[in-house]
């Protein structure tokens, strides 16, 4: 049995978890900063790193207390090394280094995107069948990845500008919906018509890449008021005849169509056995339903509590690297830009 204490501070959640054998969550604690950043309509990096400093000690100790363990019962310390906000990553990595040095435990740096994929290993389900196509879709990332084995990745496509979750947040702010935009646009869309606006699909032709900035601009142009015909709302003065649920539903459909079309095409092209839908935006029920209907192969996604950033997924990914022999030194630095296909593949367990 291996027990790993994992720490995650890549963005605006301070999280710690204890994971057994890469499959069982012994304890998981997440301290959210949503209320802190809501006033800005997005994550304020300097405030995020300061909040991590204030919370990380208590969050980690609470995870250990919930697990009923101390450091003598652990096999390793794992931490998100990147990608993410540099200041936020530094807090977690330096804290983990201190714990590893003080307790005499191995240190394992984990890629945040790989962590999202390994959230699926924390479910009671049959093993993933490789090759699989993973769509990692969140506030900071939109990546389409071919996974041929544990830790073996080939990035097929990524966003050329805004991530899907970032586009949700920006459009939510335009519509004066609460932060974060994703769940609030999804909620508003339930009362709207997805065919009310013909927004462009964010899918550059001939590639597996995505682009959402043009879609965001199209939404703004559709709702922006002319002189003398507006209501003050959000970052943009909206036309007085705008029905926000219709805009939300049409925008959401355009994002989902782009994600599903590209993912299904990749699954066909690479003869994938499964689609792995992970990341914060994978919590969107309309996206789940569309992917299941149109992907052409079985689709997996994590339970809602494991879609957004958490340390349990970092511990799951760390387990497979730990048993393959990965050990990182105390000179390990953060990697704010760390493509998943730059990772060395560990031995198949």
**Averaged over 273-289, what is the pLDDT?**
98
Peptide bond just before 106 cis, omega within 30 deg: no
Lowest mean pLDDT among 110-114, 234-238, 332-336: 234-238
Q: How many CB atoms lie within 10 A of CB 225?
A: 17
- Strand, coil or helix: 123: coil
- Strand, coil or helix: 76: strand
195 and 208 belong to one structural domain: yes
CA atoms within 13 A on the CB side of 257: 16
CB 74 within 8 A of CB 3: yes
76 and 144 belong to one structural domain: no
Residue given tokens 């050990």 in the structure block: 327
283 and 312 belong to one structural domain: no
> In this prediction, what percent of the chain has a pLDDT beyond 90?
84
Whether the per-residue pLDDT at 164 is higher than 70: the answer is yes
**Averaged over 136-157, what is the pLDDT?**
94
Q: Give the chain's mean pLDDT.
A: 93
pLDDT in tens, 289-298: 999 999 999 9
297 and 322 belong to one structural domain: no
In a domain, 348, yes or no: no
Residue 349 confidence (pLDDT): 43
In a domain, 349, yes or no: no
**Averaged over 6-33, what is the pLDDT?**
96
In a domain, 141, yes or no: yes
Domain with 315, as residue range(s), is 3-120+306-342
Task: State how far the Cα of 46 lies from the Cα of 56, in Å rounded to an integer.
Answer: 16
Task: State how far the Cα of 76 lies from the Cα of 314, in Å rounded to an integer.
Answer: 12
Overall number of domains in the chain: 2
- Between 130 and 205, whose confidence is greater? 130
150 and 267 belong to one structural domain: yes
């Amino acid at each position: 049995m291996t027990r790993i204490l994992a720490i995650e501070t890549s963005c605006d959640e301070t999280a710690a978890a204890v994971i057994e054998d890469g499959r069982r969550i012994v304890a998981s604690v997440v301290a959210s900063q949503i209320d802190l950043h809501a006033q800005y309509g997005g994550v304020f990096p300097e405030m995020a790193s300061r909040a991590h400093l204030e919370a990380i000690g208590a969050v980690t100790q609470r995870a250990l207390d919930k697990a009923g363990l101390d450091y003598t019962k652990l096999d390793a310390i794992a931490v998100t090394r990147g990608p993410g906000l540099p200041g936020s990553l530094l807090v977690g990595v330096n804290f983990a280094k201190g714990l590893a040095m003080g307790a005499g435990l191995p240190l394992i740096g984990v890629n945040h995107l790989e962590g999202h994929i390994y959230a699926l290993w924390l479910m009671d389900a049959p093993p993933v069948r490789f090759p699989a196509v993973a769509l990692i879709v969140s506030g900071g990332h939109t990546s389409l990845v071919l996974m041929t084995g544990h830790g073996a990745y080939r990035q097929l496509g990524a966003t050329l500008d805004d991530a899907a979750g970032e586009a949700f947040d920006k459009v939510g702010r335009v519509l004066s919906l609460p932060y974060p935009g994703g769940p609030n646009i999804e909620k508003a869309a339930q009362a709207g018509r997805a065919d009310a606006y013909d927004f462009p699909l964010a899918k550059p032709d001939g590639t597996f890449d995505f682009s959402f900035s043009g879609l965001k601009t199209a939404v703004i142009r559709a709702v922006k008021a002319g002189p003398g015909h507006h209501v003050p709302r959000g970052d943009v003065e909206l036309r007085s005849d705008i029905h926000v649920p219709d805009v939300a539903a049409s925008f959401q459909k355009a994002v989902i169509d782009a994600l599903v079309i590209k993912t299904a095409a990749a699954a066909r092209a690479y003869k994938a056995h499964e689609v792995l839908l992970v990341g914060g935006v994978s919590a969107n029920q309309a996206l789940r339903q569309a992917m299941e209907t149109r992907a052409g192969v079985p689709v997996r996604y994590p339970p809602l509590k494991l879609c957004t950033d958490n340390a349990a997924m970092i511990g799951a990914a760390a387990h497979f690297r730990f048993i393959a022999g990965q050990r990182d030194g105390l000179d390990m630095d953060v990697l704010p830009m760390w493509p998943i296909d730059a990772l060395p593949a560990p031995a198949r367990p």
